[in-house]
A = this chain, B = another copy of it.
Amino acid sequence: MKLIIAIIRSERLNEVLEALYRAEVRGLTISPVRGHGGEVEQVETYRGTRVKVGLQDKMRLEIGVSEPFVEATVNAILESARTGEVGDGKVFVLPVESVYRIRTGERDEAAVTPQAPGAPV
């Protein structure tokens, strides 16, 4: 079990989702974040107040996958999220000790394997 955390450009989200879909990733969770990296800073002006905004809007993906899927998932993200410009983001792979599916209480592999709602538990 691994947890893959990816920080990507917001505007690449749809491409990444599609790529993940093709990689047979069925469950994931996303949230909007702001990131700081090597990109140039934006200057904004509000009346006399001038500010440097060093944070860019990014999208964060969190995907729990079982070992055999890790590589495919990471590759899907790397390929679909890339523009080649600074600011494309990062992917982190974290170890996970256990995963549960809340609906059924299933653990680990079973918890992240897609499963029809009415199927026997």
Interfacial residues, chain A to chain B (CB-CB below 8 A) = 2-3, 5-8, 17, 26-38, 54-55, 58, 60, 62, 64, 74, 77-78, 81-103, 105, 111-112, 114-117
Contact = CB atoms under 8 A, between A and B. Distances in A.
A85 B36 contact: no
Contacts of A94: 3, 94-97
A90 B111 contact: yes
Given A2-B97, A90-B111, A96-B93, A34 B30 contact: yes
Contacts of A111: 90
Nearest to A13: B55
Given A5-B62, A90-B111, 18 more contacts: A2-B97, A3-B5, A3-B92, A6-B102, A7-B29, A26-B36, A29-B35, A30-B34, A31-B34, A31-B60, A33-B62, A60-B62, A64-B90, A82-B102, A85-B117, A91-B102, A93-B96, A95-B95
A37 B26 contact: yes
